[in-house]
Structure 1
């Protein structure tokens, strides 16, 4: 042997044939492949084809045999490190040799040229390319593909592989999904016929290995090679570039819903398709092709029918709806289902396609939620994902943190695919799977959800069925259906958030021991306005939600883009808009007045750092109306906070009034624009309703004049004498003597408790006072044993139906309002209720109400402002049949409402809403406002939800001045997240000249026994515990002043508010602790 010095770093041995021939035993085995000599002694026992095939070539040049059987095996990588040299007679290519840095990079003159690439292909030297082996046996051949295992992805499954044989063209193809966009593919025109193929995937020695065994039709024939490679073979190509199809046969058909069938489609025995989650296949029938997603035969585990004809090949199941004018589905519906014993093709089907990324299911986080939105046959991709979760994560025990919520929209109940199976699964697996069917055209007997996708509906469903979704580590929304359905869900499911950048982020008392930059958020709609004439701020955040941010510790504002909290906030929203802190600039009209002249602290209960600050501002008050502003605000504070509504919360509150003069008096109406500080305006004429804010930044800047942490709940009062307002970032009401406090109480209820509506015909029903079903009722702790529901934990529906949900906004001076409805006569022993809202009816007898021709008694309240009137009848329930309600003006002369007089707005005689109900007898329906149960509420689309009380809450009955117990409880929990029960701990060392003792004084907030005597609540008290080194000092219970002796260092004081107002406190919000140390 001689040595060849290739370059400065490489020298190789030149090995003569005589030397190669000496190494021809199992323990000393050399072989030459394509001019390179290797020692394969170590490999003989591992050869997948056995020892004997290799023994015939050791000590020899085995190139010819290798090329005929293993032409595409990457032998250089397999035998790397076992190179002996170059066989004598072979020479190096000089150009490549000088640049080589290792033996494997050397290129010989007689090496075949590199494989050519094709359009859309990735070069075969890609590191993802596999090693290929090919083995012969008398009855079969084996084709082995080995991919280097990526430790970051799971091992291959059979669903990652597709194997097909086109018997007509005799083409064999194998594909492997590398990821969700690329596949590796090898394709041959085979030299000899085969009868079928089967596939087995294993993981060993850091390789994903797929062994494809093909049974020979002619046993005993030795194949020298598999066949001729096709143009696109041994390449990596985009999944989207596939365009293949295979013969298949429809062998099964079964109806699963109206106009919907499940089809079984069988392939030839020699075809095996793996199907990844979310991937689809194209079915071709004559000249029409459509894509469909395979499903499992049943969600319940029911096996497919055992006797299905058409051969023994693989069967895929498809759920397909037949459309009246659908060219594909009409033809498919007419295809003959094969009853032949042998395979008879009647359709073409492609190999699987798609780009769905299922990585989140392969590596789920500790808390993973899948929220599925399906419309009609859009359920099909969800089926296999749900089955995968059942098999891999729940039955397989891989994870107990995967929750699935399936919201399934259909027209009617007959259209719901597998309704019974999904319902059964939701009952048997209720801890992780929730099935919510929604109908758009329901029958009268339907008791479930109704309506097309809307933000209100989806939020309400998720509040009930996935209430902790904000703390779920990872959430994925999956949407499938028609293009229109997908767009409607996407439009409602987006989350645009508005974050007001404060100087100091608020500190939450109950986040716990988490990262400094962890945040908790409270979300509610940002105020938005309607376009009107004039120079107003652009409404750039239309439709946004406002985020209120809490952190474990006080921290600086998040105005800087690099602030760590921004990343956390981004998890909650699709888009985030940060509004910088606004600086207040006094107008010329306010100059000359001191800060004290413009700001009045009406209620002072302590520092803003540990109080909730309610801030009143006014709009449409001129400088001359300064006294009127302060008088109006003082009256509203007395009516709202010193009366019964919010009086119990007063010790936690500070209340401010800030005066900002406007140029004009009053607010804007259509056709009557006013120049005011915050540009409050009514968007419509006629009956008074909503009032919107245009200059929101001006309002924010004004409120923040009080300093950091002193603008928790801003309120804007319009200098207007009629009903109107809105909730959200700002609670808006008016100075009306008749309705100002009524509207303000209601809007503050929304803001304080973060709850939705309780009255009928609205859009937003969420929060603690709403439940979409009896099963999801959240106020079970308030169901007493004497309640109509039968006690705590039990809940029943109070029997009540609506007959009219009307919102005519009708000018009665122009036309009357009339409704015709039917009663089923099934409410004997019960009765009926009529509720209307009326404006502009200050004169006695100016409006007439007729029910079936009979006049209903009505007395005007003597005001033009919007008023609520109601009638309840329990003596004459409605009879079976048709009934008519008519509301009309008694004076038919039309009032001139086109031109408002100066300083006065003409309010037309108009009807705003008409609500008519029937209710059951006392055993079926409890009328008392003190009863807590489940009372039905209907939204604008007629969807039913439930509220806690009949009319015992001002969130339903705005003329009422009380909140229900459930809303009050939520306000306590919301407020005690912000306010500490512990004001301060004062430590005086060496009290009284004694250096060995320390006096500790605890200052706590004025609740329980520390309230003013006229504000005390029966059963409310403050409990105090002192703990030293983790153990309570019982002798110090409920003391505010203690003496600690020398050497006692680590203390903790625990203060708990015990109150009948809170029954459900899972996060211990009413328990506050503080540690202190005595040096």
Structure 2
């Protein structure tokens, strides 16, 4: 597909220059430059797990539990005596240094201090409590007072673990929300229970409502603003079915309809309040509760990529916002690890959509199988009916960026294509969409690696405003398309300088291995684009 070559002036940008003062809101974490190092023989993840189970003292303090002050922590900052605090717990990282995939120097950056933010930047996929449990020394004693509501910067250790980042709101909307917290009311008809939530936030969407019900125990969560949550938690008077309907009455009011299990019964009350009922929590941290789900079907997309349809638990409704991801958990030799996977659609073609996605009953994950992947060996063996554990969704993509743009440019490497799927679907099928041009540049190793090529080519033929280009780093001798890697010349061909725009409103997205995403963003910046035009999807 060489369609985009018809406009050679439409160039791809280079993203944030390393020394640019404008990197503030989309600055990539320090892990951008982080590379894996070659570990010594006998220092794999499995070797570390075996060492932890050997009975050897890895704490360095005789397996005693201590209360560690910040002053004491700061004394242990050399390679043969290194401690680190992560989420309020202090670990002796000395024995782990040689097992660290990022190298000793990278891990030592957090030695002698609170390394939570650093750890979350480069190692968010691992459950640190499982990984370093045998190195646990004790709690970190600090004078810092934590706010119950988390409204302080007290939760510094969890800065990068926000559950939901919704579109930013203006000052008047903030003032309105601060004056009066969210509330709810319930009514009933002969066959239904109707719950109305007044969020008092003018940018509410149905995706920000999550319902979790177990028998009569009902929890409704409404995620508001950046990372605030209004929660209803009640033990219902009678039973309802799992047939929920969520809609918006207006821009700030959500309505949820539950069907009564016994339609003829008139309820005398909604039920009995449970823990944390009718409560508004501000600046919450990432919810780490896991849900027991099941694999419903598996489709082989390429030689190493699969599409999994996963059934959510009965009573649970979650329709994730665009561009968001979930964590898939698995336990390997008593150590719990996870990987983050973007939620995708079953297809790019409207005729193959799955209504259960919109109803919040199933999710789709597109997963590449790596020979040495921490989880993918297990994922590759999954079959229909197998149980899997998933987290709540999380992410930071702002839908208003997509709604307000006229030109959408996407750079995707490998399965970095996954967050682009919903963007493409919205841009081409949404009735209220004003996007005039949608360009996708896909980077793969070989032609056999290209995901959904037939679907993409069909869309490109169907929609004049949609263009797709494939770039291969290891093409065969028969490949007639573009080859190479993302670079300044290629970007300039497909992304015009910002200074040349007249009425175009650009949105430039990138996803792939972290160095690829960083490079795409840097190149875009070289073309003059600023933070409000850019969105890097970071894994």
TM-score range, shorter chain: 0.5 to 0.7
Relative distance call for 1:346 and 1:187 in structure 2 (3 A) is: same
Q: Pick from 221, 225, 244: which aligns with 1:175?
A: 221
What CA distance in whole angstroms lies between the structure 1 residues aligned with 2:482 and 2:394?
Answer: 35
Q: Aligned residue for 1:479? A: 510
Q: Aligned residue for 2:34? A: none
Q: Aligned residue for 1:94? A: none
Q: Aligned residue for 1:290? A: 339
> Secondary structure of the residue that 2:282 maps to in structure 1?
strand
Matched, 1:199 2:245: yes
Q: Aligned residue for 2:388? A: 347
Matched, 1:272 2:317: yes
What CA distance in whole angstroms lies between the structure 1 residues aligned with 2:226 and 2:246?
Answer: 22
Matched, 1:384 2:433: no
What CA distance in whole angstroms lies between the structure 2 residues aligned with 1:252 and 1:180?
Answer: 34
* Higher relative contact order (Cα pairs below 8 Å, separated by 6+ residues): 2
What CA distance in whole angstroms lies between the structure 1 residues aligned with 2:317 and 2:446?
Answer: 38
Q: Aligned residue for 2:25? A: none
Instruction: Report how far residue 214 of structure 1 moved.
Output: 4.6
Cα deviation, 1:49-72, whole Å, max 9, x if unaligned, reads: xxxxxxxxxxxxxxxxxxxxxxxx
Q: Pick from 420, 424, 440: which aligns with 2:458?
A: 424
The equivalences for 1:553-952 within 5 A come to none
Cα deviation, 1:783-808, whole Å, max 9, x if unaligned, reads: xxxxxxxxxxxxxxxxxxxxxxxxxx
Unpaired segments ≥5 residues, structure 2: 1-146, 153-173, 532-539
Q: Retained in 2: the 8 A contact 1:239–1:353?
A: no
Q: Aligned residue for 2:62? A: none
Cα deviation, 1:957-985, whole Å, max 9, x if unaligned, reads: xxxxxxxxxxxxxxxxxxxxxxxxxxxxx
Q: Aligned residue for 1:247? A: 292
Q: Retained in 1: the 8 A contact 2:318–2:360?
A: no
Q: Retained in 1: the 8 A contact 2:206–2:248?
A: no
> Secondary structure of the residue that 2:402 maps to in structure 1?
helix
Q: Aligned residue for 1:186? A: 232
Q: Retained in 1: the 8 A contact 2:323–2:395?
A: yes
Instruction: Report how far residue 481 of structure 1 moved.
Output: 1.0
> Secondary structure of the residue that 1:241 maps to in structure 2?
coil
Q: Retained in 2: the 8 A contact 1:187–1:229?
A: yes
Q: Aligned residue for 1:462? A: 495
Q: Pick from 146, 165, 181: which aligns with 1:129?
A: 181
Matched, 1:322 2:369: yes
Cα deviation, 1:356-407, whole Å, max 9, x if unaligned, reads: 112122334xxx2221111111111110011111122xxx2x3544321111
Relative distance call for 1:410 and 1:197 in structure 2 (3 A) is: same
Relative distance call for 1:125 and 1:179 in structure 2 (3 A) is: closer
Cα deviation, 1:842-884, whole Å, max 9, x if unaligned, reads: xxxxxxxxxxxxxxxxxxxxxxxxxxxxxxxxxxxxxxxxxxx
What CA distance in whole angstroms lies between the structure 1 residues aligned with 2:467 and 2:313?
Answer: 39
Q: Retained in 1: the 8 A contact 2:239–2:262?
A: yes
Matched, 1:228 2:309: no
What CA distance in whole angstroms lies between the structure 2 residues aligned with 1:128 and 1:406?
Answer: 44
The count of aligned residue pairs is 357
What CA distance in whole angstroms lies between the structure 2 residues aligned with 1:492 and 1:404?
Answer: 19
The equivalences for 1:372-521 within 5 A come to 372-392=410-430, 396=431, 398-430=432-464, 432-462=465-495, 470-495=501-526
Q: Aligned residue for 2:207? A: 159
Q: Pick from 318, 326, 330: which aligns with 1:281?
A: 326
> Secondary structure of the residue that 1:327 maps to in structure 2?
coil
Relative distance call for 1:217 and 1:281 in structure 2 (3 A) is: farther
What CA distance in whole angstroms lies between the structure 1 residues aligned with 2:402 and 2:198?
Answer: 25
What CA distance in whole angstroms lies between the structure 2 residues aligned with 1:399 and 1:221?
Answer: 44
Relative distance call for 1:256 and 1:193 in structure 2 (3 A) is: same
> Secondary structure of the residue that 2:352 maps to in structure 1?
coil
Relative distance call for 1:199 and 1:290 in structure 2 (3 A) is: same
Q: Aligned residue for 1:119? A: 149
Cα deviation, 1:686-727, whole Å, max 9, x if unaligned, reads: xxxxxxxxxxxxxxxxxxxxxxxxxxxxxxxxxxxxxxxxxx
Give TM-score, length-normalised by structure 1.
0.31
Cα deviation, 1:490-523, whole Å, max 9, x if unaligned, reads: 3333328xxxxxxxxxxxxxxxxxxxxxxxxxxx
Q: Aligned residue for 1:371? A: 409
Instruction: Report how far residue 480 of structure 1 moved.
Output: 0.8
Q: Pick from 281, 301, 304: which aligns with 1:256?
A: 301
What CA distance in whole angstroms lies between the structure 1 residues aligned with 2:477 and 2:180?
Answer: 59
Q: Retained in 2: the 8 A contact 1:118–1:232?
A: no
Instruction: Report how far residue 274 of structure 1 moved.
Output: 2.1
What CA distance in whole angstroms lies between the structure 2 residues aligned with 1:233 and 1:330?
Answer: 43
> Secondary structure of the residue that 1:126 maps to in structure 2?
helix
Q: Aligned residue for 2:197? A: 145
What CA distance in whole angstroms lies between the structure 2 residues aligned with 1:426 and 1:146?
Answer: 42
Q: Retained in 2: the 8 A contact 1:261–1:321?
A: yes
Q: Retained in 2: the 8 A contact 1:269–1:313?
A: no
What CA distance in whole angstroms lies between the structure 1 residues aligned with 2:484 and 2:294?
Answer: 40
> Secondary structure of the residue that 1:471 maps to in structure 2?
coil
Q: Retained in 1: the 8 A contact 2:402–2:507?
A: no
Q: Aligned residue for 2:99? A: none
RMSD: 3.3
Relative distance call for 1:411 and 1:386 in structure 2 (3 A) is: same
Instruction: Report how far residue 348 of structure 1 moved.
Output: 2.0
What CA distance in whole angstroms lies between the structure 2 residues aligned with 1:251 and 1:484?
Answer: 34
Q: Aligned residue for 1:595? A: none
What CA distance in whole angstroms lies between the structure 2 residues aligned with 1:304 and 1:370?
Answer: 22
Relative distance call for 1:573 and 1:138 in structure 2 (3 A) is: closer
Matched, 1:331 2:378: yes
Q: List, as ranges, runs of 4+ consecutive aligned residues in structure 1 with deviation greater than 4 Å.
A: 121-125, 136-140, 189-193, 466-469, 571-574
